[in-house]
Structure 1
Amino acid sequence: MVLDDGSLPHGIVYPSRHDGGTTCFATWLRRVDDGYDASTELTIADQGQSIEFDNPDFGSVIDAFGIIAF
């Protein structure tokens, strides 16, 4: 995909279909697509935040959608 100005998009931002107040992000890993190692990507991720299994909201989501969490 090429944008109108000729540049390549880095990703997309879109609202969650499950919660109108939550924003989701998707980023393209162009270097990986070109065969390079993931460590060469400009985008990095940290460890994030742990979700405990005794979290009732988390439990409701995995039950509602049949997700296997371990």
Structure 2
Amino acid sequence: MSKFQRTHAALFDELERQGIVHADVGRLTRAVLAATDLVAAYEGDRLSGLRLAPAGRCVNGACDG
């Protein structure tokens, strides 16, 4: 079973468990895999020019960095 198939099955099962029926699980799966690939590349310093903004705290639309 491919990484896509395993991730898709896990997401589908979890969304179904939560009663979420109108979700594009294929699109969500592709987004999750793209994000994990980006994080792996960043952690591996393959994208040394990538700078992530620090996580800020947002309350009622106002964010502090």
TM range (shorter): under 0.3
The normalised TM-score by structure 1 is 0.23
Larger Rg: 1
Say which structure, 1 or 2, has more relative contact order (CA 8 Å, 6+ apart).
Answer: 2
Is the helix fraction higher in 1 or 2?
Answer: 2
Is the strand fraction higher in 1 or 2?
Answer: 1
The normalised TM-score by structure 2 is 0.24
